Amino acid sequence: MKKLLLILIVLWCFACKRHDENKTISKDVIEVESVEQTRDLTVYNFETLAPLLELKDDKVHVINFWATWCAPCVKELPHFEKLKSVYASKGVDLLLVSLDSPNVYETKLKPFLIKHNIKSRVIALNDVQSNIWIPKIEASWSGSIPVTIIYNKDSRKFYDSPFTYQDLERELKTFLN
């Protein structure tokens, strides 16, 4: 009985090793096939994000706070992508700030960005002290998303509701000279 058990354990280990080797081979093939679809993601805390909320240059800055789990956020993302493509040459800078949890950056956020062909600059905000940084962004902000800030060196406006493309473009135009 002990010999049979030992043989079964050896066979099981061999089978697991072969199965893991096959996984590795498959994984390598998948990685090679998707090299062009990789997406870098920079992670900020609020201290490193804060300067991006107050730039004093000649651009109009559009900053959208969103997450992959937020249906209204996901619905409006194409509007921001379109805005970027139409207005980038006119001095408009777009930044998408993901509030997704760090444990989903690799499994959900990056694949989402690739699947939806998000070309805009995306950073992930990883700062658990939201009760400190939310009021620094806007005193009236409850913490709900989506939230957008549009600003230039002369003025700044905070929006705490989702946009249609027409509404987003109309608001942006009030900042363009």
Q: What is the pLDDT of residues 12-25, one digit of tens each?
A: 333 333 333 333 32
How many residues are recorded in the chain?
177
Domain of 122? 42-173
- CA 3, CA 101: separation in Å to the nearest integer? 49
Peptide bond connecting 111 to the previous residue in cis, omega within 30 degrees of 0 = no
How far is it, in rounded angstroms, from Cα 177 to Cα 175? 7
User: Quick one: what percent of the chain has pLDDT higher than 90?
Assistant: 76
Q: Are residues 87 and 148 in the same domain?
A: yes
C-alpha closest to that of 146 among 132, 163, 133: 163
Residue 94 and residue 49 in one domain? yes
CATH code for position 104 = 3.40.30.10
Say whether both 16 and 98 belong to one domain: no
d(CA 72, CA 23): 37
Number of domains in the chain: 2
Predicted local distance difference test score (pLDDT) of residue 177: 67
Is the C-alpha dihedral spanning 162, 165, 171, 172 positive or negative? positive
- What rounded mean pLDDT belongs to the chain? 83
Are 129 and 66 members of one domain? yes
Question: How is residue 139 written in tokens?
Answer: 């005193």
Examine the domain organization and report whether 73 and 54 are in the same domain.
yes
Q: How do residues 126-174 score in pLDDT, each as one tens digit?
A: 999 999 999 999 999 999 999 999 999 999 999 999 999 999 999 999 9
- Please check the confidence at residue 6 and state whether its pLDDT lies above 70: no
Kindly state whether residues 22 and 82 are assigned to the same domain.
no
Whether 131 and 168 map to the same domain: the answer is: yes
Nearest to residue 169, comparing CAs of 65, 52, 70, 85? 85
Q: What is the mean pLDDT of residues 95-111?
A: 96
pTM of the model: 0.78
